[in-house]
Structures are given as structure tokens and as C-alpha cells.
Amino acid sequence: MEDKKIIINIGRQIGSGGRVIARQLAEQFNCKFYDKELLNLAAKESGFCEKFFEQNDEHKGFLRSLFHIHGSLFGESPYYKNEFSQESLYQFQSDAIRKAAEEDSCVFVGRTADYVLRDMKNTVNIFISANIDQRLQRVCKRQGFDRATGRKYIHKQEEERASYYNYYTGKTWGAAESYDLCVNSSVLGLEGTLDFIAQFIRKRFDLQQHELHSEIQP
């Protein structure tokens, strides 16, 4: 496909289908896909165990439980003996994002990639939302929750995600002014939303139109 390197940053509500859409965009635009894969990259860069990044993924204030974490989670890194902080982990992850973006076209899901790469050319920042009923349906099916538990889960996860994003970026998670495009996937459905976003990206980067082959699996 086109030689131009592009970076697509996807923010998403829990249960909106944002991750599924992001993966399909990566396939369509021949980009590397990074969601939790970033945790592995950050672990390699820092020397910390990947499980440590997993436990604190998109969560602010995890150091409250730091002293209850088994020492093996720190891997071989010398940082835990020195000035370890939440900002250190955030910096490791940010460095991993920048390194990946410098090497290839990428789709990043969450983790403030839009802010980390704010000075990089050829980026587009998108936020995907959905109606609460559809979000609940997906979350309950995926997690095996009843609706009451699913609603609490969504509220807790999004509260933590918003706190993390707002703290590190100085912007507001999910607010239109924080992104180039905000889309409610309930309006067009997942496939329709995928096509709509793909068209927006092509227009944004002046890419040639070609036949799209990806389909979202139910």
C-alpha cells in the first residue's frame, strides 16, 4: 500500500468495540498494532517484569500497593533500588511508544499515545464511544457478568482510565476537543464505524482509495 508512514491513536470507552476496530484499521492500513503489546515493549526497555506493567496498565496511583508486590515483578531493573515512581513507569511506556512510532506505521490503543506523539507528523487521534446498553451487552458477554456487575465494572475501569489520561495529558479523556474525530459506534455498527473511520483517515492523510478487505467478526 502507500509508502507514507501514518500513526493512528485510538481512545475508546469500555465495550465500545474500539479495540476490535483498531485492529482492523491496522490490517487495512498495513500498520503494526499495539494495545497490551506495548506492555511487553516497555518491559523490555525498562528491565521490569511485564506483569508489573500489566497490573498498573492505564491506572493512576498504583504505588499505594507497591510494597505489597513481590520483588520478582521488578525483574532485573536497578531502578527499584533508586528513585522509582509511577512517572518512571509512564516514561518507560512513553519511550516504547515513541520508538515503535519512529520505526513503522502504527495503531496505538489508549495509553495516552495521542499525547506522547503530539509533536509527531502524520498522526490522527480518534475516540470511539457507544451507547451504554450495547457496551453492557459486550462487557457482560465477554466477562460473564450480570448487568449490575457489568455496570460497576465499566464505571470503575473508565474512572481509572480517565484519571490516568487526564493526569498525564492535561486534557479530558473522551472530550471532543482532545481528539481529531469522535465516533459513536452504535450509530453505524462496528463495520460501518470501521469504514467511516477508514475514510476519514484516507482523507486526513490524502491516501489513495483502494478496496478494503477486512471484516469485523461478531
Grid cell digits, residue 131: 451507547
Burial of 183 (0-12, 13-18, 19+ CB in 10 A): buried
Query: What is the SS3 assignment for 157?
Result: helix
Domains annotated on the chain, with CATH: 7-205 (3.40.50.300)
Measured torsion, CA atoms of residues 192, 195, 197, 198, in degrees rounded to the nearest 10: 170
Q: What is the pLDDT of residue 193?
A: 98
**164-192 pLDDT per residue, tens:** 999 999 999 999 999 999 999 999 999 99
- pLDDT by position in tens, the chain (length 218): 445 899 999 999 999 999 999 999 999 999 999 987 776 666 666 665 556 555 555 565 544 444 334 444 444 444 443 345 677 778 888 998 999 999 999 999 999 999 999 999 899 999 999 999 999 999 999 999 999 999 999 999 999 999 999 999 999 999 999 999 999 999 999 999 999 999 999 999 999 765 444 455 54
Burial of 216 (0-12, 13-18, 19+ CB in 10 A): middle
Q: What is the pLDDT of residue 92?
A: 83
Whether the model clears a pTM of 0.85, i.e. scores above it, the answer is no
Q: What is the pLDDT of residue 42?
A: 64
Q: What is the pLDDT of residue 36?
A: 78
Q: What is the pLDDT of residue 77?
A: 46
Distances in Å between the Cα of 122 and the Cα atoms of 30, 106, 145, 202 are 15, 11, 40, 11
Q: What is the pLDDT of residue 72?
A: 42
Residue found under cell 501514518: 6
Grid cell digits, residue 34: 499495539
Cβ-based neighbour number of residue 139 at 10 Å: 21
What is the residue type of 20?
V
Query: What is the SS3 assignment for 204?
Result: helix
Burial of 18 (0-12, 13-18, 19+ CB in 10 A): buried
Q: What is the pLDDT of residue 53?
A: 55
Q: What is the pLDDT of residue 89?
A: 79
